[in-house]
Amino acid sequence: MNISRRNALALGGAALTVTLVPVSFAQAAADDAMAQAVAEFTGGADIAEGGIELTTPEIAENGNTVPVGFSAPGAKRVVLLASKNPGPVVSFFTFGALSAGDASTRIRLAGTQDVVVIAEMADGSYTQVSKAVKVTIGGCGG
């Protein structure tokens, strides 16, 4: 993939509904990793908004196990991302013809952040949805 770092960053900036005010290096690094993960998944293609239903709790008391579900009818591939986790990629999903393009799981969230789902549809287009989750106790304990 020949995407320059600058392009990847610009893409990520446009794609994410993250407030782009890096207050610390750690956060800048997280934004960087996130933009890279998005660019890797889409190959730099444009990402539309909507068409996916994302279910997350508004407030998660325990970051160790946060229920997350999405429904992206007609999706071939989906990536589930946690914008501020040490590694933003949670999981990739590949769906077959019998699938409804949906999945629910439980994930760890290191702190309050956006959970993002990007789907590659059958026609090769990309769409995304993002939701903020407030975490009271982070789940990547160290």
Number of residues located near another protein, criterion CB under 8 A: 32
> By C-beta, is 43 or 86 nearer to another protein?
86
Using a 10 angstrom Cβ sphere, with 0-12 exposed, 13-18 middle and 19 or more buried, the burial of residue 131 is middle
> By C-beta, is 57 or 69 nearer to another protein?
69
The two three-digit tokens of residue 140, written as one number:
């990547």
Q: d(Cα 26, Cα 70) in Å, to the nearest integer?
A: 28
Footprint of another protein on residues 115-134 (CB under 8 A)? none
Cβ–Cβ under 8 Å, residues 117 and 129: yes
Footprint of another protein on residues 55-114 (CB under 8 A)? 64-66, 69, 82, 85-87, 89-100, 102-109
Which residues in this chain contact another protein in the complex, by CB under 8 A?
64-66, 69, 82, 85-87, 89-100, 102-109, 139-142
